[in-house]
A = this chain, B = another copy of it.
Amino acid sequence: MKLSRYIYIVILNLCINLLSSVCHADDGYRLWLRYDKIDDPAILSQYKNQVRSFFFYDASPTITVAKKELSDGLKGLFGQVVPESNAANNGSLLIRKNQPIPFSHIDFQTYGKEAFTIYTMKVDGKNVTTISANTDIGILYGVFHFLRLMQTRQSIQNLAIISAPKIQNRLLNHWDNLTRHVERGYAGISIFNWHTLPGYIDQRYIDYARANASIGINGTVVTNVNANALILTKEYLEKFKALADVFRPYGIKLYLTARFSAPIELGKLKTADPLDTTVRNWWKEKINEIYQYIPDFGGFLVKANSEGQPGPQNYGRTHADGANMLAEAVAPHGGIVMWRAFVYSNETPEDRVKQAYSEFKPLDGKFEKNVLVQVKNGPLDFQPREPFSPLFGAMPQTPLMMEFQITQEYLGQGTNLVYEAPLFKEVLDADTYQHGPGSTVKKVIDGTLDNYSITGMAGVSNIGNDRNWTGHLFGQSNWYAFGRLAWDHDLSASAIADEWIKESFPNNPKLIATIKQIMLSSRETVVNYMTPLGLHHIMGTGHHYGPAPWVNNAGRADWNPVYYHKADSFGIGFERSSRGSNALEQYAPEVQKQYEDSNTCPEKYLLWFHHVSWNHKMKSGRTLWDELCHSYYAGVDSVRAMQQQWNSLKPFIDEERFRHVQMLLNVQLSEAIWWRNACLLYFQTFSGKPIPAQYEKPDHTLAYYQALRFPYAPGTGN
């Protein structure tokens, strides 16, 4: 090759190099799909050798999307364009539907429509990689997986991958209002600009679909569970259709929330009784209309008879009556209904955490087969730690789906670094014992325990129009982890963190190890400085920002923090054993046995299940009071440790993201101190005991903390 041409190629590739590595502003917009050039020469060489060209044999909008993703991804990772070629040469990457699994009798068809395979094999002696699937969407997932292998520096030699999602319906739930305000949102406002839809399609809608497809999310509910009937009008159906059209090539179905009283509000009927024929017909016609706009409309998510939302009980009907009415109407179109179990009755004085079970268990088997009951991970409301909901495993004839909260309503909102995968895993791996040992929650929701025909997992989104999508940079890791666990709940929190870090930051071993340590410790840290030892629901009223364990004047008893901690001169905690509310009776006997005795109850749930003396002896030898102090102070110290760890990464991380996290860790530290001081000063008024001398004294009084007001804390408006 001539020297000048050689120089030209060197220059061109150097420039693409520089472009890829330096070019992209690190404002976080690219999420985990940065495809920055691989800087390890040995690995890069392996990859380039293995992938010298690619070819898609199929064609469709989804294949077009997959092709663009692969092309852009390879160009970024390799620093050079990888050409298309259908010749089967060394280094060919051939992508084609319906290929048999090599050297196998496995009928790949049985893996389902989202599964994919990735195999390396020799074809006529040539080293070839293949990606195959039963559908175009499977191809897209395969492409994303293949790119992920390289983003995370894994070997792409000798691949023999068959991957199928363990859960069918993997959804985000947006609590986005038509005003664009996001309930419990801390990342700006809704990314969906309802006013300018359908005419204006924001680039963000497309990047949102890409990001979700890359982690296997295949559905999204774009409207708030506190529903607005207007979304069912033509004006809004046009907007949702425009979104659905953007999402479709990425395998993402659009769902809506159903306002139960819509027949009255929109239809001008006199009732919304689900057994009333005119009501049923109204819904049938309305749903038929929706399917005119969106032929693959996913169905509805419903919050009814909860926190003021209308529902079937307004007419003396059951949740099943309500769900089945909608289910029957969407069934001919292939739609589903997800009916939330987050209910707590106004009238019953029963322990709040017992109420969902009490209300739904009797309805087992009464739902249509295209209905799932959507259950929050714990029986209260997304606290930093809750035991798993007793409903899991207790409704063998009704598909239960999981509802996790990705947005950090109770986990520090927009300012605290909390990696949630450990929380998700704790729930998923919990043993319900409903069919003996091994009856884990994950087996309930993936359908294998009770043979559900339909399965699902939902995550309440933390996405907003902030540049980095999630407000706090590390919020991205929770969106990511949710998707990965919805696909495969056997992945570990550590492995998922490893992926996300490698995809989001330079691949420096010290950086990876340090960030992973920060992430994996962060959940326990926030538990320690907010609600240790099983404490729960002691946050500020309304906005849920900051501590307020003293509040006792909320509209209902079970909205008061004092209801939950029950601190008195004797001790603290909620007796939920047989000696108290007996919330434990809703669990299998093996579980009851674990928690029944306050002396053997795992300490992280102690004050959830028991009202315990301030002098109760903990395993550490400390009294409960001293253990409480120890936990709160350790939590704060852990934040300081996170700060030091983060600061050590300054040489390795771009300035913008480094400063972003550094500033937020400062804010987190002051909030952790606030939680610690306010809670201990308040509980101290009951324990009468001193905060042990070795700890730094609170720098404000209890009265100071009790007087704090935040009328404009985010996430609470309409």
**CB-defined contacts of A656 to chain B, threshold 8 Å:** 203
A199–B667 CB distance below 8 A:
yes
Using an 8 Å CB-CB cutoff, how does the interface string of A1-43 with B read, 1 for contact, 0 for none?
A: 0000001001100110111001101010000000000000000
Per a CB cutoff under 8 Å, which of B189, B667, B712 touches A188?
B189
Q: Which residues of B contact A201 (CB under 8 A)?
A: 663
Partner of A415, one of B11, B14, B200, B467: B200
Closest to A204 in B: B467
Residues of B within 8 A of A23 (CB): 19, 22-23
Nearest chain-B residue to A717 (Cβ)?
B179
User: What is the minimal beta-carbon distance from A277 to any residue of chain B, in angstroms?
Assistant: 29
Q: Is A541 an interface residue (CB 8 A)?
A: no
Contact B670 A414 (CB under 8 A): no
Inter-subunit contact B199/A670 (CB<8 Å) = yes
Known A203-B27, A230-B711, A467-B467: A196·B667 in contact at CB below 8 Å: yes
- Other-chain contact of A465, B188, B663, B717 (Cβ < 8 Å): B188
Task: Report how far A336 CA is from B656 CA in the complex, Å.
Answer: 36
Chain B residues near A717 (CB, 8 Å)?
179
Q: When the two chains form their complex, are residues A200 and B663 in contact, meaning their CB atoms are under 8 A apart?
A: yes
- Check if A582 is an interface residue, CB within 8 A of chain B: no
Q: Which residue among A27, A195, A666 has the maximum number of chain B CB atoms within 10 Å of its CB?
A: A195
Interface mask (A216-240 → B, CB under 8 Å = 1, otherwise 0): 0000000000000010000000000
Interface of A is mostly: loop
- C-alpha gap A25/B29 in the complex (Å): 11
A452 beta carbon closer than 8 Å to chain B: no
A714 adjacent to chain B (CB < 8 Å) = yes
Confirm or deny: A55 has a beta carbon within 8 angstroms of a beta carbon on chain B. no
Copies of chain A in the complex:
2
Closest to A10 in B: B11
A666 & B714 in contact (Cβ 8 Å cutoff): no
Chain B residue nearest to A655 (CB atoms) is B203
With an 8 A cutoff between CB atoms, is A493 at the interface? no
- The answer to whether B712 and A179 touch across the interface, beta carbons within 8 angstroms, is yes
| A664-695 with Cβ < 8 A to chain B | 664, 666-667, 670
- Check: A466 CB closer than 8 A to any chain B CB: yes
List, in ascending order, chain B residues with CB within 8 A of A189's CB: 188-189, 465
Asked if A111 is an interface residue, CB under 8 A from chain B, the answer is no
| Complex-state Cα separation, A15 to B23, whole angstroms | 10
Taking the closest CB of chain B, its distance from the CB of A69, in whole angstroms, is 17
Tell me if B22 and A414 are in contact (CB < 8 A). no
Question: Which of chain B's residues have a CB closer than 8 A to the CB of A670?
Answer: 199
A128 to B63, CA, bound (A): 59
Contacts of A664 in B (CB 8 A): 196, 199-200
A27 surroundings in chain B (CB, below 8 A): 203
The answer to whether B199 touches A663 (Cβ under 8 A) is yes
Partner of A194, one of B15, B194, B712: B712
CA distance A663 to B199 in the complex (A): 6
Q: Which residues of B contact A663 (CB under 8 A)?
A: 199-201
A11 contacts across to B, CB distance below 8 A: 10-11, 14-15
Residues of chain A in range 396-430 having any CB-CB distance to chain B below 8 Å = 414-415
A195 touches B713 (CB 8 A): yes
In the bound complex, what is the Cα–Cα distance between A201 and B667 (angstroms)? 11
Chain B residue at smallest Cβ distance from A23: B23
A519: Cβ under 8 A from any B Cβ: no
Asked if A178 CB lies within 8 Å of chain B CBs, one says yes
List, sorted by A's number, 9 A–B pairs whose CB atoms are closer than 8 Å.
Answer: A19-B23, A25-B25, A179-B717, A188-B188, A188-B189, A189-B465, A195-B712, A196-B664, A200-B664
Enumerate the 3 nearest inter-chain pairs by beta-carbon distance, A residue then B residue, closest first: A199-B667, A23-B23, A15-B18
Give 17 A-B pairs besides A10-B11, A180-B714, A188-B188 with Cβ atoms closer than 8 angstroms: A11-B11, A11-B15, A14-B15, A15-B18, A15-B19, A19-B22, A19-B23, A22-B23, A25-B25, A178-B711, A189-B189, A189-B465, A194-B712, A199-B667, A200-B663, A203-B656, A465-B466
